[in-house]
Structure 1
């Protein structure tokens, strides 16, 4: 004949001790360790405070129709320089034609790519050996962070063989040395001009100053095709297609996001700590390692 539980009652056992006793001091130490050790573990493992976070966003990018082309030729004394920018320097006016296409293919208000074609005219005795092309953009993000800046893309290529055409393909990418401090009300603006020609070695100076910026853009996933040989009557052609893909943005999280992440880390270790120290207290008091007054309730 099988039996069933029809009623149950637990018997309580309480272990009591005065405040000034070894038992109470041991209880206080165990209680403090239960809550402090998980905090120290999370803090020392760099997992408690969220220092930065990332997300992806497709930026709003627009070519400002400002460019600088610096071409080194077989005539080392006179490179070919041309461009379209507010502050001009003495240029050779060798860029006869430039074609620019920016297109929003999915009609979301953001351009997807830049298709640029530039024709460089030379005289009958000069071969093109090296190209440096600087393109200036307006770069904006606005989903979680309001940020805008004037940025640059540099295309460099050289060859020991005279060329007739340069094809370049790549993706515009964001470079960050510091995370953004995001705000939905106050946009962060970096509008310092890039193309400055005050120093004699102005191209090196432009590169140096741009490399110091905490936020900039560059061309990634670059594919280059250098076509050698051309008729002297034909211009040197530079054709580039730059894709405006989504970029990874690093930012400083706000207070509540930091606390949410900290609580998740702390609570996960606190559960284990409570379980372990509960077993320790049971062993210490039930084995009478310290003196206590036992009180049983029916």
Structure 2
């Protein structure tokens, strides 16, 4: 009758030698070469200790529908036009007050519950003899127009664009109280400025303000540094463990160092052998 192998299991084999033998010295040297070089390789590869880390987070920004506008008029007319959503500021402007038409719309493009951008449009009515000053030397991407928008994040964010006079006027207003105030300067490296308009046509500001994802940098704590270093060390250590395991198996199986091979039997088989 033909016989077939139905089941198999590996047999563990041990190798015995004295603690002062060459075999023991070889194991000690192999252990040192297994665990120390991966640490040196990981450390010398730079970035072993995580000194600074960062993560991305999109702030929750909402436009509060509060605006302050200062428009400088041409030199032949002189003066300026101003308007804001703050009655106290408007009362101080006198003949310089001009009420514009403002329309805004916020979008949440990725539907994550946080607004991604703001569409802002302002139409300032002008008389036929008035025109907004075009500054030949563009400073802060401006042409004599200074809108200041008030947005609300986890902390208030005042979005300024224009000369310092508008920012100083805005600072005198009563902004919502909050532990921290952040200021975002809106800058357009390539502004579109169209000169010339129809009689009594309004001056139009059309802007799209994006709320980008912010990269926040911070100093990592002790355990985060250890976790980052441990991952690098173990990833290299696994390679050394695999290599030196096969080196030790070759050395002992081929008796490169003198040892006494013994077959290690399971505990149950040893007990049965004594009973017999």
TM over 0.5: yes
Residue number in structure 2 paired with 1:196: 168
Answer yes or no: is the 8 Å Cα contact 2:22–2:258 preserved in 1.
Answer: no
Partner of 2:259: 294
Query: CA–CA distance in 1 between the matches of 2:37 and 2:96?
Result: 71
* Cα offset, 1:294, TM superposition: 0.6
1:176-191, aligned counterparts within 5 Å? none
Deviation at 1:118, TM superposition (A): 3.8
In 2, the alpha carbon distance for the partners of 1:132 and 1:267 equals: 60
- Structure 2, gaps ≥5 residues long: 135-142, 170-181, 264-276
Deviation, 1:45, is 3.9
| 1:59 is aligned to 2:60 | yes
Question: 2:49·2:229 contact (CA, 8 Å) conserved in 1?
Answer: yes
- Kindly state the Cα deviation for residue 149 of structure 1 after the two structures are TM-superposed: 4.0
8 Å CA contact 1:34–1:274 kept in 2: the answer is yes
Secondary structure of 2:168's counterpart equals coil
User: Counterpart of 2:133?
Assistant: 128
Name 2:242's counterpart in structure 1: 275
Which residues of structure 1 form unaligned runs of 5+? 141-146, 157-193, 198-214
Secondary structure in 2 matching 1:229: coil
Query: Residues 130-182 of structure 1, C-alpha deviation per residue, up to 9 Å, x if partnerless?
Result: 24434333342xxxxxx5242425379xxxxxxxxxxxxxxxxxxxxxxxxxx
Q: How far apart in 1 are the matches of 2:5 and 2:112?
A: 68
Mark the structure with the bigger radius of gyration. 2
| Offset at residue 237 of structure 1 (A) | 2.1
When normalised by structure 2's length, the TM-score is 0.57
Q: Work out the CA distance in 1 between the residues paired with 2:31 and 2:76.
A: 79
Q: Deviations over 1:103-138 (max 9, x none)?
A: 577998755634331416467265531244343333
Q: How many residues align?
A: 236
How far apart in 2 are the matches of 1:77 and 1:279?
91
Distance 1:232 1:62 in 2: 33
Please state which structure has a larger fraction of its residues in helix. Answer: 2
Who is 1:34 aligned against? 34
What is aligned with 2:194?
A: 227
